[in-house]
């Protein structure tokens, strides 16, 4: 498998990045969505996928499926790669901590480097171990959404994304909040036809919108929390 067939270039808040095992543009986004930063996901080399968060690959028993399956646990069942970077690029980096960021995410959601990521230093070898936690949800359908504090995939319809995840939902909420506040949407978020993309003059407005969005969700979470271990609700109804 060639690296160019496995990694797809994208543009994020951190600049030019590469993604692997992410669904193609048509499987990720609703019809009519504009998202130039992820245009490369329209690459025909990225196959269509029927993978679902709750059902996985369904009845498929194919070894070569997409998203790619892992061949097993441990180092031999994982992915190994080397990253090379020009010294000149390191010097002009906007980050105080020099190195690389790695974000783990579902095949049905876009990476968020400003929230959750792992940092790897320059000229170092690193190993990342993933220990998944399985939460069995059988029998929860009868409980109210407010009581179980989560949505099933078919219960929440999004306007930008075809697949519901909390991360995708939060991106939509922030994009709507930014549109109302700044009259535009940041280039790192999907938008609909007629929505303006923010330019450099909106930098301060964008940063303030991100902060105020977080503060609003924190305020609502605290006001609706019923106990010390209850996270309450958030303003955009994505649940915690």
DSSP line for 20-80: ESPPPHHHHB-TTEE-GGGGGGG-TTS-----BTTTBTTT---SS-SSPPP--SSGGGS--
pLDDT tens per residue, range 81-115 = 887 777 666 555 555 667 788 898 999 998 888 77
Provide the pLDDT for residue 202. 95
Q: Is residue 226 predicted with pLDDT exceeding 60? A: yes
Provide the pLDDT for residue 196. 95
Q: Is residue 58 predicted with pLDDT exceeding 80? A: yes
pLDDT tens per residue, range 165-176 = 888 999 999 999
Provide the pLDDT for residue 29. 95
pLDDT class for 230, splitting at 50, 70, 90? low
Q: Is residue 180 predicted with pLDDT exceeding 90? A: yes
**71-75, 129-133, 213-217, 234-238: range with lowest mean pLDDT:** 234-238
* Predicted TM-score (pTM) above 0.75: yes
Does a cis peptide bond (omega within 30 degrees of 0) precede residue 67?
Answer: yes
Q: Are 79 and 128 in contact (CB under 8 A)?
A: no
């Amino acid at each position: 498998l060639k690296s160019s067939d496995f990694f797809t270039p994208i543009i994020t808040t951190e600049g030019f990045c590469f993604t692997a095992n992410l669904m193609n543009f048509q499987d990720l986004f609703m019809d009519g969505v504009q998202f130039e930063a992820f245009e490369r996901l329209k690459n025909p080399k990225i196959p269509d996928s029927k993978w679902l968060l709750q059902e996985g690959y369904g009845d498929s028993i194919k070894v070569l499926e997409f998203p790619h399956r892992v061949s097993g646990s441990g180092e031999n069942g994982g992915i190994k790669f080397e990253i090379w970077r020009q010294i000149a690029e390191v010097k002009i980096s906007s980050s105080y901590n020099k190195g690389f960021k790695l974000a783990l995410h579902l095949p049905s959601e876009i990476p968020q480097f400003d929230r959750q990521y792992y940092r790897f230093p320059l000229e170092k070898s690193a190993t990342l171990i993933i220990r998944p936690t399985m939460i069995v949800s059988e029998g929860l359908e009868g409980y109210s959404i407010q009581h179980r504090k989560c949505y099933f995939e078919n219960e929440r319809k999004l306007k930008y994304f075809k697949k519901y995840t909390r991360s995708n939902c939060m991106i939509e909420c922030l994009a709507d909040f930014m549109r109302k506040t700044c009259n535009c949407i940041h280039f790192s978020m999907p938008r609909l036809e007629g929505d303006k993309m923010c330019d450099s003059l909106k930098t301060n407005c964008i940063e303030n919108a991100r902060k105020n969005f977080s503060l609003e969700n924190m305020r609502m979470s605290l006001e609706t929390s019923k106990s010390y271990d209850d996270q309450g609700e958030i303003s955009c109804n994505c649940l915690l």
